[in-house]
Chain A
C-alpha cells in the first residue's frame, strides 16, 4: 500500500469534470514537498502532466489542473474527452523514507 493514497478509479462522461485525490502525510505533501502528476495510457510510458503542484509542461491542455492543501493534493480534469482515459499517478518526496513516492494510481474511465 502506497504512502500516497489515491482512489483506485474514477469515472465521468464526456464533457464532465472529474477530480482525483492524493492523500499524503506530514512527511511528504504536508512537509511542503512538491507534488507532480503523471498520465499513463495503457501499455505506454508515463507522461508528466503537472509539475510542482500546478504547472503544465508545454503541450498539456489547460483542461488539466491541480492543487495542493495541507497533506493532500488533487488533479482536476474538465471537459472530459475519450483520450483522457488513462491511469493517473501523483508523486512527491518523503523525508521519512528519504526517497521518491508514487501514489497507487487512479484509473480514469470515460463513460
Chain B
C-alpha cells in the first residue's frame, strides 16, 4: 500500500525558514503525484500543495503561494516542502500524502498518508 515518513518539523521563529522531508517506500514513488496537507491544532485539514509525478507541475493554496515550495527527488523517493517567511498561522502538523493517480493528482484524492511532522512558529 505504501509508507510515508515525514521529518524536519520543529520550533522556528517567525520570519524564518524550514524544510520538511517525506520519505516514501513500498510503492513506486515516481509514478504518483504527491501532496502536502496541514492541520493546525484543533482545526481541520488544510491542503497546502501538490506536485506531479515528474515535478513539472506544482500547485499551491493561496495561503502559502510565494512562500512555500514543493519539490521532489525521485532518485531518492523523497518529497520536500520548503517553508519561508513563516508566521504563527503556519503552525500545524504537516502531512505528506500520496496521490491516487499518475496524472492530475489534484483531482483524484490521496490514498496513503504519513503520520505528520509538527511545525511550531513561535518567538
Contact = CB atoms under 8 A, between A and B. Distances in A.
Contacts of A91: 45, 47, 109-110
A101 B47 contact: yes
Interface in A18-71: 33-34, 36, 38, 40, 44-48, 51-52, 57
Contact of A34 (B46, B47, B108, B113): B108
Interface of A is mostly: strand
B116 A104 contact: no
B109 A48 contact: yes
Contacts of A57: 111
Given A100-B47, A102-B44, A34 B107 contact: yes
A93 B97 CA distance: 16
Given A45-B113, A46-B95, A104 B107 contact: no
Give the interface SS of chain B, mostly helix, strand, loop or mixed: strand
Interface residues of A, number: 27
Contacts of B35: 100
Nearest to B99: A100
Contacts of A48: 100, 109-111, 113
B47 A99 contact: yes
Nearest to A105: B44
Contact of B44 (A36, A100, A104): A104
A68 B94 CA distance: 29
Nearest to A33: B107
Contacts of A87: 44
Contacts of A89: 44-45
Given A101-B47, A102-B44, 6 more contacts: A44-B115, A45-B115, A98-B59, A99-B47, A99-B59, A100-B47
Interface of B: 35, 37, 44-47, 50, 59-62, 95, 97, 100, 106-111, 113-116
Interface of A: 2, 33-34, 36, 38, 40, 44-48, 51-52, 57, 87, 89, 91, 93, 97-105
29 contacts: A2-B44, A34-B107, A34-B108, A36-B109, A44-B115, A45-B114, A45-B115, A46-B110, A46-B113, A47-B113, A48-B110, A48-B113, A51-B108, A57-B111, A87-B44, A91-B45, A91-B47, A91-B110, A93-B106, A93-B107, A97-B61, A98-B59, A99-B47, A99-B62, A100-B47, A100-B106, A102-B37, A102-B44, A103-B44
